[in-house]
Structure 1
Amino acid sequence: MNKYKLQSFFTILVICLVLLPTPTRANQVDDTIYNKRLALYKKTEAITQLPWYFIAAIDQYERQIHKDLPDDQLISIKIPDILWYGVGNSSNIQDEKVITLFQGKGKDGNGDGKADINDPEDILYTMAQIILEFGPTEDDVKIGLWNYYQRELTVQTIKNTARVFKKFQHVHLTDRDFPVSLQHNYSYRSTFGDRRGFGGLRSHEGTDIFANYGTPVKSTTYGVVEMLGWNLYGGWRIGIRDIYNIYHYYAHLNGYADDLKLGDIVKPGDVLGSVGSSGYGPPGTSGKFPPHLHYGMYKDNGYNEWAFDPYPYLRRWEKMARSKNK
């Protein structure tokens, strides 16, 4: 390589190093957007008295159900035009008095004289007022959420996410962990979509992680224990709903952590139970297959829920966990 080519190579390399986002830069960007959101949630709480963690949970829920949102979008709540401006306000006039005249819900949250459907402060203030129409207590908020979304799973998801935000006092909760202890022997491969025969021909909705009996099983994420108990197919199982509208399914357990109960808030790394071979029969059935953890993930988009392949996520979380343990 001659000196001119060498100089060009190093010039390109320097440009790439400058332009490519480093982990530190990425974390700074993340911190900035999350802190801005939190500040807006708390400002809305101050003027409406609706706790910030409910406001944050609504925004977080909608961030997961709308497609193609930019990563740096500040607020993701989308209130339908007809609800915001009112029936008959075909010109979408932003004057709050006109909107009220047409029985719209849009409000001026930042005092600029306009109820702007694209302004983050106006959106949060308006949504808070919509939810508070039934009163300020938690039961009232639940009714307000049901009246707006008309879906029980959505109401439950928002309530659980609000509990997580309240407990950890922040919305920047991006840590993850691998579901099986790295200090034990285990193996896994992609098994999503494989055929299963028990109970009739069906498709495998997860990844099997093989390990010895008693190997600790951990939470991969922040969330709330939504299911706990026996399942014909999964044996002793746990279902956790996280703050991204994803249901995490842990099956074939040998048992649960002593203090774990329905409704508990968990974080990455919390021990949930241990690996077993329970399932494929009535309560207590065990040993019909080698001990392993069945780990499944199910996405909710506000209308329905479906399984997707957890294997790529497990590989990523395994690397994250190993990196933290170095």
Structure 2
Amino acid sequence: MRLSDIKPKKARRSLICAAAAAIAFGAVASPAWSASSPAPTQAAESQDKLSREEMLISRKKLYESISAVTHIPWYRLAAIDQYEHTLTKVHPKDRSHPPRLTGIFMNEPVWSGMFNPDPNDSNPRSISIFNGYGRDGSGDGQADMNNDIDVLYSMASYLLRYGQSEEDFSIALWEYYHNSRSVQRIRQFSKLYEKFQTLDLSGHAFPLPISDSYAYRSTWGTGRSWGGYRIHEGTDIFAPYGMPVRSTCYGIVELKGWNPFGGWRIGIRDLENRYHYYAHLQGFEKNLNQGDIVNPGQTIGWVGSSGYGKPGTQGKFPPHLHYGIYRDSGLVEWSFDPYPLLRHWETEERQAIKKKNKGNS
């Protein structure tokens, strides 16, 4: 290889590291950072003092700074990071690390290299010799697995091995996680962030229009016998036929169709890696398809009594919406009682309606 072929690569790498460090530490002016916003490392050191809004702003600017020097869309980096945050929530002991903005977790063998005799190695040169993923993104000569810039730059460097297209992105995710669920979730998250261009997608709505026409109580865990004994994994909200059923969250329609138990049902995935399940519908909103993005309060179907039989079976029980919610651990999903969340969302929406009406009076 000619020396002239090597120098541009070294120069480009040095430029990337210098640019990332300059953006992060405020050494140069950059549209990604404002004087009033904390740098990623500063924000990580004082996370307990940051509001949720400030935390999201700092994260997005970090994604944008790494995107600016690697040309990987910020929403792809954000999607991976958010997925990693959800994994840490369900596996806190296995993924323990000091407080930081980023959620991406690489253990010592992954970061330093499987056969590296020093599992705590932070030297980028020796890490690369042992095929570790750790990289120096801040330009300080160290690959620190708890430095936000280094962590995110290391993930970006890994993605760059495969290319920039959607297909390349999917392949890179598969090779990293070896889990089709992980690939699907991250691509869903990426689609949401790209659509809305913000990290703050935490809004929620009650699954039915707020009124006095429905009734519900906690029914999670009660017995069911049709099709074999099982527990009830959700809350039944009894309401008239044809009442609109609404999405409770920002999410992606992951599933739509018939199920012998749930009848006509829809499943929606949100950014917390929770699966929202709406069953026994009378029908679907006709323009809604699998893979579509939905907003809180958007109509997705109508209350019915479908299920407990072949496709189209209706009327074996009173009309109601079965609403369930499941959390993904990365390998399996489990249900939890949605009743507290339903009460919270209903209360919030009633208060918002009351406040709006008061302001208009």
Tell me the TM-score normalized by structure 2. 0.80
Identity %: 50
Where does residue 40 of structure 1 map in the other structure? 62
Separation in structure 2 between the aligned mates of residue 184 and residue 226 of structure 1, nearest angstrom? 31
Where does residue 56 of structure 1 map in the other structure? 78
Q: Residue by residue, what CA displacement relative to the aligned partner does 1:254-277 show, whole Å, maximum 9, x if unpaired? A: 111121111100111111111000
Structure 1 residue 81 displacement after superposition: 1.1
Which residue of 65, 82, 87 corresponds with 2:109? 82
Asked whether 1:302 is paired with 2:330, we answer yes
Separation in structure 1 between the aligned mates of residue 339 and residue 298 of structure 2, nearest angstrom? 21
Letter paired with 1:305? E
Structure 1 residue 132 displacement after superposition: 2.6
Separation in structure 1 between the aligned mates of residue 105 and residue 132 of structure 2, nearest angstrom? 15
Structure 1, unaligned runs of 5 or more: 1-25
* Contact 1:184–1:215 (8 Å) recurs in 2: no
Letter paired with 1:107? R
Structure 2, unaligned runs of 5 or more: 1-47, 355-361
Asked whether 1:289 is paired with 2:312, we answer no
Separation in structure 1 between the aligned mates of residue 210 and residue 193 of structure 2, nearest angstrom? 28
Separation in structure 1 between the aligned mates of residue 115 and residue 162 of structure 2, nearest angstrom? 25
Separation in structure 2 between the aligned mates of residue 64 and residue 47 of structure 1, nearest angstrom? 27
* Contact 2:280–2:305 (8 Å) recurs in 1: yes
Structure 1 residue 87 displacement after superposition: 3.0
Structure 1 residue 70 displacement after superposition: 9.7
Where does residue 265 of structure 1 map in the other structure? 293
Letter paired with 1:257? E
Residue aligned with 2:261, SS: coil
Letter paired with 2:178? Q
Where does residue 12 of structure 1 map in the other structure? none
Letter paired with 1:185? S
Taking the TM superposition and a 5 Å limit, the aligned residue runs for 1:132-211 are 132-183=160-211, 185-211=213-239
Residue aligned with 1:226, SS: strand
* Contact 1:223–1:243 (8 Å) recurs in 2: yes
Separation in structure 1 between the aligned mates of residue 228 and residue 325 of structure 2, nearest angstrom? 22
Letter paired with 1:102? F
Q: Residue by residue, what CA displacement relative to the aligned partner does 1:121-153 show, whole Å, maximum 9, x if unpaired? A: 110111112123221111010010011111111
Aligned length: 301
Separation in structure 1 between the aligned mates of residue 248 and residue 106 of structure 2, nearest angstrom? 32
Asked whether 1:245 is paired with 2:273, we answer yes
Separation in structure 2 between the aligned mates of residue 198 and residue 87 of structure 1, nearest angstrom? 51
Structure 1 residue 72 displacement after superposition: 7.2
* Contact 2:181–2:331 (8 Å) recurs in 1: no
Q: Residue by residue, what CA displacement relative to the aligned partner does 1:55-76 show, whole Å, maximum 9, x if unpaired? A: 1011111111114479974111
Letter paired with 1:45? S
* Contact 1:131–1:141 (8 Å) recurs in 2: yes
Residue aligned with 1:134, SS: coil
Structure 1 residue 184 displacement after superposition: 5.4
Structure 1 residue 49 displacement after superposition: 1.4
* Contact 2:214–2:238 (8 Å) recurs in 1: yes
Where does residue 311 of structure 1 map in the other structure? 339
Structure 1 residue 238 displacement after superposition: 0.2
Asked whether 1:225 is paired with 2:247, we answer no
Residue aligned with 2:139, SS: coil
Where does residue 10 of structure 1 map in the other structure? none
* Contact 2:100–2:146 (8 Å) recurs in 1: no
Letter paired with 2:71? Q
Q: Residue by residue, what CA displacement relative to the aligned partner does 1:101-139 show, whole Å, maximum 9, x if unpaired? A: 122111111111111110001101111121232211110
Separation in structure 1 between the aligned mates of residue 98 and residue 135 of structure 2, nearest angstrom? 26
Residue aligned with 1:227, SS: strand
Where does residue 28 of structure 2 map in the other structure? none
Separation in structure 1 between the aligned mates of residue 100 and residue 238 of structure 2, nearest angstrom? 40
Separation in structure 2 between the aligned mates of residue 40 and residue 294 of structure 1, nearest angstrom? 40
Structure 1 residue 47 displacement after superposition: 1.4
Separation in structure 2 between the aligned mates of residue 138 and residue 124 of structure 1, nearest angstrom? 19
Separation in structure 2 between the aligned mates of residue 89 and residue 283 of structure 1, nearest angstrom? 57
Q: Residue by residue, what CA displacement relative to the aligned partner does 1:17-73 show, whole Å, maximum 9, x if unpaired? A: xxxxxxxxx9x7111000000000111111111111111011111111114479974
